[in-house]
A and B are shown apart, each in its own frame.
Chain A
Amino acid sequence: MNLKNASAAFALLGASALVLSGCAAAPEAEPTASSTATATESEAPAETVDFLACAVSDEGSWNDKSFNESVMDGLMLAESQLGVQIGDAESNSSEDFEPNLQAMVDANCDITFAVGFNLVDSVNAAAEANPDVHFVTIDGWSNGATNLKPVGYNMAESSFLAGYVSAAHSASKVVGTYGGIQIPAVTDFMDGFYYGAMSWGEENGVAVTVVGWDPVAMTGDFMGDFTPNSGVSKSIAAAQIEAGADVIFPVAGFQFGAVSEAIKEAGIDGAMVGVDKDIALTSPEYADIVLTSAEKRMTAAVYDIIADLVAGAEFTGDYYIGTLANGGTGLSPFYGFDAAIDDATKARLAELENGIIAGEIDPKAVNY
């Protein structure tokens, strides 16, 4: 009796195993050409283009409300606007980089974006091994492969402006900044912020203090990782508020929940400066304390690169550097804080911006 039941169970299992193994003779059993066309699943726009844009994430998921997400937004924008197909793979650790990039090569991607400096070795190797496949490395560099286009940002430029306006807005004349990990891609923001704030102080003859980063000694406050809204993040923000800071610039992905909690718990009339995206727009729940944001407009860069290629332009391995001049980076509007910032400061900001664009002002030095 028992045995009969058991064999029945096995028959069932056998059947389900057959269904699962995918070797049954269904028409879709071999997704040959369709493996290159992910977007065919969703209702693709009427005029789809035969172009597959792919991306491999840095450690972390696409919806990190920061770095990775900006790139994915660019891909999705290209999907809806240009009708291209997209493919993607998330990396959980450095071990995933190579297999993920290889999967993109195997899927015959027309272009593959490798997000983050962590992938720089893997993407250079992939580019050298596949000379006729086009790659883009964001925040990385090319070791010589011409089929690899580096995309970088001079984030110090917009962060300089952010530091300037933060110092102007601060009541205590103490502003704070902290980072995720002490790497150039992070400290670039913090350098600009520091010198921007100091420049305002020199200009106005007021002593301004920046807590959390000293660009000369290269020491400051860092979380040790990029975990969104972590407890560490909140305690750093709280410590900086304790030290008198009332404007905080967290350069560590999405820390705006943590900073906003720290500000509210301290009961001060504080503000924070967003990074990467226009935080007042993307996270309206914090808009009332977002002074402005130093945007790293990767979405636009990704979209533009795809759009150029779809339009028939030749792929080049030339550097793309996002600057104030080409709009790759910039300050977000002040929204609710617009009235709180006087016209003289705004005029001076415009002047500084033009100075940086013209190359007369170095955002990594005190200017006045």
Chain B
Amino acid sequence: MKTFRIGGVHPAENKLSAGKPIVVAELPKQAVFPLSQHIGAPAVACVAKGDVVKVGTKIAEAGGFVSAPIFSSVSGKVNKIDSIVDASGYRKPAIFIDVQGDEWEETIDRSETLVKECDLDAKAIVEKIKNAGVVGMGGACFPCHVKLSPPPGMVPTCVIVNAVECEPYLTADHQLMLEHPEEILVGVQLVMKAVNVTKGYIGIENNKLDAIKLMTEKAVQFPGIEVVPLKVKYPQGGEKQLIDAVIGRQVPAPPALPVSVGAILQNVGTMYAIYQAVMKNKPLFERVVTVTGKSLANPQNFLARMGTPMQQLIDACGGLPEDTGKVIGGGPMMGKALMNTEVPICKGSSGVLIMNMTEAKRAEADPCIRCAKCVSACPMGLEPYLLSTCSAKADWERVEKEDIVSCIECGSCQFTCPSHRPLLDMIRLGKSTVMGIIRARSAKK
């Protein structure tokens, strides 16, 4: 069975909510839409206080090419355009909408019937995806249409769908595959048409055997699409790791893109969103979110509207347990601890993980014992101990030379460190500083 070649770790899977059907979450009383839900320029609000909106009404325009519009997930009245404390504790601009009823835009096709035939050409498909505000739903939130418009001179040869879900605990993508396999496959076909390739791969780790079986069965009707079972290893969901695992090619160091080895990568959730955007005229305003945790009474998968406060989903699972140590937005490896639970669900919220006290506690850092476990674990072939030390000493020249910008921040080094050193914390700092230095340098030129 295939997997990527360099590094990787095996965290406990803990897929507590696996096999739990997707439950439609209740509408919130007030939905909040941060204007910057994606990588790139923040969206620009195009509604004003007091405006009446429906489900699917555009409330913010894209702020540039690398940006995406935002659509209302509820019907009601715009209460205010103000700021909200985001997951990290800083204030960001957001649109607040008071929910009244549940009235949808007429253009959206709400029927459940599967539409397979699409007579749009490649350009029209990308345009439709762009106008529906679809972004990468794996967590990075990179605007989808940008990936589908490769720079001139680069010719994609295949589409790779990331259905790996290598983060422990999370089951949103798994459940989505079980409940909407055909829609996803139509989505893959649309993307293949949009970038003009004939080959599509769906990479699934073999801890989701039911999904592999179901997708393989359904894929027979879709020529060119192949399901690739993969060995379980973290971080297989990283785009460079997945390309290596599926087609055995390695993406050069940044600024090279996956398309430079001919691959277009999309998350399986994104494929579903693309299907809905192109075939059902439904912009991106809801997504599957896993709410899970060992102490949580009832871990579940929800279909939640964007802007729903996370607290509401936690309450629907039985409320915050008493021994809660941390609430994490995303998975345990790459997710970020939330400052408060009133943070709304955004385009990139794949899960809410409630860690108990014992899980959440970070052991005290001991001195580095030079065991080089982090070096063997790093899927990018970097030397985390060195990057971390040099970042702590603010030796930016050295870390740049040591290729810190290649770091994908997967956290394998910190996970594997027997001295519990905060490697990733320091590397993140170094990476963001070096990126800033590089940007400033290219701006000067």
Tell me whether A and B are bound partners.
Answer: no
